[in-house]
């Protein structure tokens, strides 16, 4: 879609060069400017959207705290089990 907007902007720019009407040239130049800005903004939005994280895969703070507590409990169990003298 962004490339289509930029292609339309190029077409409007070409029409502005070949026309003999000043009003049509101004309208085509304005359309070209608007279409180029819209195309670039669409490209940037597409790029930012592809780099953003998936919010569904993110861990919420409560789940992160629970996982840390489990890891601490396992670490403490391993330390207390490993420190006991063997008979």
Tokens of 77: 């169990």
Query: What's the pTM value of the predicted model, to 2 decimals?
Result: 0.60
Residues 20-65: pLDDT tens digits? Answer: 999 999 999 999 999 999 999 999 999 888 777 766 777 888 888 9
How far is residue 35's CA from residue 31's CA, in Å, rounded to a whole number?
Answer: 6
- 4-8, 65-69, 82-86: which range is least confident on average? 82-86
For 45-56, give one letter per residue: b (16+ CB within 10 A) or e.
Answer: eeeeeeeeeeee
**Residue among 80, 81, 83, 1 nearest 40 (CA):** 1
The position carrying tokens 């009407």 is 21
CB atoms within 10 A of CB 35: 20
């Amino acid at each position: 879609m962004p490339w289509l907007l930029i292609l339309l902007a190029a077409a409007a720019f070409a029409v502005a060069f070949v026309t003999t009407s000043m009003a049509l040239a101004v309208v085509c130049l304005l359309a070209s400017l608007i279409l180029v800005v819209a195309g670039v903004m669409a490209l940037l939005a597409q790029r930012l959207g592809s780099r953003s994280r998936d919010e569904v895969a993110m861990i919420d703070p409560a789940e992160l705290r629970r996982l840390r507590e489990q890891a601490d409990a396992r670490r403490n169990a391993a330390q207390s089990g490993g420190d006991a003298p063997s008979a």
